[in-house]
Amino acid sequence: MQQEMETLAKFVDTVVQFAVTYGFQILGALVFLVIGLKIAAWCGGKTMQLAERKDLDMTLAKFIGNVVKLVVVVFVVIITLGNFGITIAPLIALAGAGAFGATLAIQGPLSNYGAGLAIILARPFVVGNTITVKKTSGVVDEIKLAATVLVGEDGERITIPNKQIVGEILTNSHGHRVVQTKLCIAEAGDAERAIDHLRRTLGGIPELGEGPAPQVGIHDFTYGGVVIGLRFWVPSQKYFQIRYAVNQAVLGALAASGIRLMPAVPAAVVAAPLTADEEEREQEGI
- Please say if the pLDDT value at position 151 is more than 50: yes
| End-to-end Cα separation, the chain, in angstroms | 127
Distance CA(43)–CA(69), nearest Å, equals 6
In angstroms, the Cα distances linking 234 to 143, 202, 253 are: 24, 12, 20
Q: Taking the model in full, what pTM does it have?
A: 0.56
Residue 286 has pLDDT above 60, yes or no: no
**Please, what are the domains in the chain?**
11-105 (1.10.287.1260), 125-174 (2.30.30.60), 176-267 (3.30.70.100)
- Checking if the pLDDT of 271 tops 70, the result is no
Rg (C-alpha) for the chain, rounded Å, is: 35
Give the type of residue at 48: M
Average pLDDT of span 114-131: 87
| In the predicted structure, residue 272 carries a pLDDT above the cut 60 | no
Distance of CA 88 to the CA centre of its chain: 40
Do 233 and 178 contact (CB within 8 A), yes or no? yes
d(CA 60, CA 71): 17
- Among 128-132, 157-161, 223-227, 229-233, the least confident range: 223-227
Task: Give the residue among 180, 175, 172 at the shortest CA–CA distance from 211.
Answer: 175
List, in order, residues 6 or more apart from 62 with CB less than 8 Å away: 48
Give me the pLDDT at residue 8, please: 65
**pLDDT value at position 71?**
83
Q: Tell me what the mean pLDDT of segment 257-281 comes to.
A: 58
The three-class DSSP label of residue 154 is coil
**Mean pLDDT to the nearest integer, 245-273:** 73
| Mean pLDDT on 97-118 | 66
* Cross-strand pairs, 59: none
Q: How does residue 216 score in pLDDT terms, banded at 50, 70 and 90? A: very high
pLDDT of residue 23: 63
DSSP state, 257?
Answer: T
Average of per-residue pLDDT values in the chain: 78
- Taking Cα atoms as reference points, which of 79, 172, 185, 90 lies closest to residue 129? 172
The 8 Å CB, 24+ separation contacts for 166-172 are 166/115, 166/118, 166/119, 168/133, 168/134, 169/133, 170/124, 170/125, 170/131, 170/132, 170/133, 171/131, 171/132, 171/133, 172/124, 172/125, 172/129, 172/130, 172/131
Contacts of 44 (CB under 8 A, 6+ apart): 65, 66, 68, 69, 72
Residue with the bigger pLDDT between 194 and 13: it is 194
Mean pLDDT score, 4-23? 63
Tell me the percentage of the chain whose pLDDT exceeds 70: 70
pLDDT tops 70 at residue 184? yes
In whole angstroms, what is the distance from residue 7 CA to residue 1 CA? Answer: 10
pLDDT score for 284: 47
CB-based contact 224:186 (threshold 8 Å): yes
Average pLDDT (241-270) is 78
Lowest mean pLDDT among 115-124, 151-160, 167-176, 255-264: 255-264
Instruction: State the Cα–Cα distance between residues 117 and 123, nearest whole angstrom.
Output: 10
Residue 60: which of 73, 71, 51, 68 has the closest Cα? 51
